[in-house]
């Protein structure tokens, strides 16, 4: 699975649609309500100061 991870634009200071990275692997564990995703980042994440995670399911 390869899906782009982009900024949502909901944070007023961060524009919508900036590429964060791509989903490399989704780990689904039985009987767990959440899934884990492994991302390949498009840049060095050590310099980030704001991070929000939103899910979109068409």
pLDDT at 9 over 80: yes
Residue 24, pLDDT score: 92
What's the rounded mean pLDDT across residues 20-35?
Answer: 89
Q: Which two tokens stand for residue 42?
A: 């498009």
pLDDT at 23 over 90: yes
Q: How confident is the model at residue 1 (pLDDT cuts 50, 70, 90)?
A: low
Task: Give residue limits of the domains in the chain.
Answer: 4-47
Residue 32, pLDDT score: 86
Rg of the chain over all Cα atoms, to the nearest angstrom: 13
- Report how far residue 57's alpha carbon sits from residue 35's, in angstroms, rounded to the nearest whole number: 13
């Amino acid at each position: 699975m390869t899906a782009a991870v982009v900024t949502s634009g909901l944070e007023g200071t961060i524009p919508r649609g900036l590429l964060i990275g791509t989903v490399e692997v989704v780990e689904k564990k039985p009987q767990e309500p959440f899934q884990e995703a492994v991302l390949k980042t498009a840049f060095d994440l050590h310099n980030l100061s704001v991070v929000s995670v939103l899910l979109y399911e068409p």
